[in-house]
Amino acid sequence: MDTKCQVEREGWYYTIVENAPLEDLRLKKDTRLLYVYLSKYAGVSKECWPSLNTLAKVSGISRRQVINCIQELEQYGYIVKQSGEISNKYILKHKPQSPKPDDSAPSAPAPSAQDAPGVVHGMHQGGAHGAPKLESINYNQLNYRSSSQVPATVPKPFPKESKEHKLAALLRTKILENLPNARVPPDTEEGLRKWAREIDLMIRRDSRDPTEIYKVITWCQNDSFWRSNILSTRKLREKWDTLVLQMQRGGNKHRADRTPDPSISRLIIRADPKDQGLSGVP
């Protein structure tokens, strides 16, 4: 599970989820659903920091039930929770074998032809004598290749149309407006890739809203103190909590709540299928 995967469907984005908790009949259905969302936020790093309110919002489960689900996942060893000042840290644990279901769970009938798919059973009315022995196939499972097998034509992350690139470019523009000779990366996909990576981590790992990121960038680059201190997306992420608190106390002075530029607004407000899975950032 820790191997980086390259999905063989261009333009589709996925969340890779451990099978064991999904097949563990001891877990409530809400607990299994919550594990899927923890996997989405964790990505390949297997670590995430979503707040309880965020998990409740995206899963449709009450905040109280989210707490119960987290406790259940801890109880059966699927996650480790580390308490933090702002939000908890969740570490997803790998379990190589699915646990046996409870005795109370209904047992599946024994197959009439070992490893034969459903079509073969239907054609042979359960006998399937002479049917070729096939490997077990889960058609819902992703086909992937290890990183050593990824071809050289893998699409580059964070194109100019992505919200990550646009927000990184916005900060670059604001910095140059204040300090024309500032050392900033080139305004290209390659040049802004590291900055866009930090924006991606803010959205995917820190659960920051893209519209809020836009407002904080606008505010800090209009603030006489912070404009000289926030000169990269890494520093923006590092100082995020302080910036938000100070913006809330005096943000109206610096027009942080104005409507975002239309080219960015259209991108960060609409539902983006990319948000439904991995971006491949470790």
Tokens read off for 133: 């022995």
Which pLDDT score is estimated for 98?
Answer: 52
pTM of the model: 0.41
Alpha helices by DSSP H, 149-228: 163-178, 193-204, 210-220
Which residues is 7 bridged to in the sheet?
A: 144
Task: Check pLDDT > 70 for residue 162.
Answer: yes
Average pLDDT, the chain: 75
Please report the DSSP string for 212-259 in residue order.
HHHHHHHHHTTSTTGGGT--SHHHHHHTHHHHHHHHHHHGGGGTTTSP
Contacts of 7 (CB under 8 A, 6+ apart): 13, 14, 142, 143, 144
Which pLDDT score is estimated for 154?
Answer: 52
Q: How far is Cα 215 from Cα 207, in angstroms, rounded to an integer?
A: 15
Q: Is residue 154 classed as helix, strand or coil in its secondary structure? A: coil
Alpha helices by DSSP H, 43-162: 52-59, 63-75, 118-124
Q: Scanning the structure block, which residue is given the tokens 């050392």?
A: 183
Which pLDDT score is estimated for 199?
Answer: 95
Band of the pLDDT at 3, cuts 50, 70, 90? Answer: very low
Task: Check pLDDT > 50 for residue 269.
Answer: no
Strand-strand pairing, 6-7 and 47-48: unpaired
pLDDT tens digit sequence for 24-38: 899 999 999 999 999
Q: Which amino acid is at 206?
A: D
Which pLDDT score is estimated for 251?
Answer: 53
pLDDT tens digit sequence for 41-88: 888 788 898 888 989 999 999 999 999 999 999 999 999 998 877 778
Task: Check pLDDT > 80 for residue 7.
Answer: no
Mean pLDDT, rounded, for 131-146: 47
Summary count for the chain: helices (H), strands (E): 11, 5
Neighbours of 171 (CB within 10 A): 27
Tokens read off for 85: 């000042």
The rounded percent of the chain whose pLDDT value lies above 90 is 45
pLDDT tens digit sequence for 94-126: 765 555 555 444 554 544 444 444 444 444 444
Domains of the chain by range and CATH? 6-98 (1.10.10.10), 163-276 (no CATH)
Phi first, then psi: give them for residue 52, nearest 5 degrees: -60, -40
The rounded percent of the chain whose pLDDT value lies above 70 is 62
Q: How far is Cα 23 from Cα 207, in angstroms, rounded to an integer?
A: 28
pLDDT tens digit sequence for 168-201: 999 999 999 999 999 999 999 999 999 999 999 9
Q: Scanning the structure block, which residue is given the tokens 């259940």?
A: 72
